[in-house]
Structure 1
């Protein structure tokens, strides 16, 4: 069996698991010898496609695997599909809106629709920001399996600080993402840009996997922000229906 085939089998298996898994389980599922599986996993770890959780003796997907998924999302017609709904969202809310995808531990902004009269944002097309600090990143992370989030943020050293606010440890991030799931949408307030807040909802594919997030950014002292979560959720649901083929 070619080495590339073995590596792809391992990636496909890990992608289908809700949590990181031990070496023996990967070996049996992919029908590979133990030594081959061990060397293959560590080669993939060196390239960033696999993360080894040493304390748990388990392996999970690494940031490079998420970059592959993000590349697929960038090449899909998601931007073309989303541009009109985002423009309608701006008309509905009179606030700037954007679409972002996960790229490792960052979000990459692929569309920005700026509301007339609103100030420019740091979330311009092509900009990357720490996912754990943005509403868009939190909306996506909250819909990922816990094991994948743990693989992305295995320790406090993997958290970037911007303005001294936001989660800085895996446990703080878990709490934030749990609150996000219960609320039904993600928020951030001044953690990206002081004075500005955002609300975001994930866009899901046919497997209910988050492929992007729709967000609206607004002044944190705005009086008319209470309807923004519903407006963002409606737009995200519209995109989810279009890319997943569901009604």
Structure 2
């Protein structure tokens, strides 16, 4: 006698997971997400009362959410109406960069590693950090490179310095106001605004940035900015190597390789101009 078949389940595995996830939902965080989606549907913006009525959220709750979103730059108020905030442009660019740029960068990183025999990496700006999104490892057993997903401080990483020099140049004082205490990772790390400004000017002059044992002892890195079709810095590409191989004498040579790779990737992104910054 055959065993009776298992009774058919009325819910799918996905719905069970979704139902379980509902227990961990933060209602007002979800409401904030719903509001952002609503704001994205119109270029004219919404009044608080309109948002509350459309999404069936209490007006007082809506007002508190909008105040928070505005404070964080996710929304802004223009003539009594709320619209999407400027920070979302940066987040959107970062999301695109993390997918499209990474795919376009892989063959460029491979060629850069083949030309230098060292580890190549790609990073995108992520708020006040540099986010590593792709790495092409060196054939050497001794490697010195962060892995994809790593967030590095701007002031002491080569890709971060490229962002400071070519993307955040006008915002240095804002990023590092008086009294800011920066992490001193090694004895070589520059931690004052005056030191950072000097480093930024040197970077802009030569076109590539240098991490000279400032993030990790015994590790030297160079990087250069990658431009999108609109002429704005979208990423930075660089190489990382142990100082025993990447000596000071090789900095100009490595810098030239990185600049060439950055120009190639910029062209793939539709940029055909010259860095005017």
* Aligned match of 1:115: 138
Q: Does 1:128 align with 2:151?
A: yes
* Aligned match of 2:253: 227
Checking the alignment, whether the CA contact within 8 Å between 1:100 and 1:107 is kept in structure 2 is: yes
Offset at 1:42?
7.2
Offset at 1:149?
3.5
Structure 2 counterpart of 1:46, from 71, 75, 78: 71
* Aligned match of 2:105: 82
Checking the alignment, whether the CA contact within 8 Å between 1:62 and 1:152 is kept in structure 2 is: no
Offset at 1:164?
4.3
Offset at 1:246?
2.7
Matches within 5 A, 1:17-28: none
| C-alpha distance 136-208 of structure 1, shift in aligned 2 (>3 A) | same
Offset at 1:68?
4.2
Q: Does 1:97 align with 2:123?
A: no
Offset at 1:197?
0.2
* Aligned match of 1:73: 97
Superposition TM-score, scaled by structure 2 size: 0.64
Distance 1:66 1:157 in 2: 24
Offset at 1:207?
2.4
Checking the alignment, whether the CA contact within 8 Å between 2:123 and 2:134 is kept in structure 1 is: yes
Structure 2 counterpart of 1:182, from 181, 187, 205: 205
Is the radius of gyration larger for structure 1 or structure 2?
Answer: 2
Offset at 1:72?
3.0
Distance 1:217 1:179 in 2: 19
Distance 1:104 1:246 in 2: 26
| C-alpha distance 64-169 of structure 1, shift in aligned 2 (>3 A) | farther
| C-alpha distance 119-137 of structure 1, shift in aligned 2 (>3 A) | same
* Aligned match of 1:146: 169
Distance 1:130 1:9 in 2: 37
What SS does the corresponding residue of 1:212 show, helix, strand or coil?
strand
* Aligned match of 1:213: 236
| C-alpha distance 173-89 of structure 1, shift in aligned 2 (>3 A) | same
Q: Which runs of 5+ in 1 are unaligned?
A: 11-38, 51-60
Offset at 1:220?
1.8
Alpha-carbon displacement from aligned partner over 1:138-170 (angstroms, at most 9, x marks no partner): 112211253334333334426333224323233
Offset at 1:205?
1.1
What SS does the corresponding residue of 2:166 show, helix, strand or coil?
coil
Matches within 5 A, 1:230-241: 230-241=256-267
Distance 1:97 1:45 in 2: 38
Superposition TM-score, scaled by structure 1 size: 0.71
RMSD: 3.3
Higher relative contact order (CA 8 A, sep 6+): 1
* Aligned match of 1:22: none
Distance 2:155 2:206 in 1: 17
Alpha-carbon displacement from aligned partner over 1:175-210 (angstroms, at most 9, x marks no partner): 211111012110011111110100111101122211
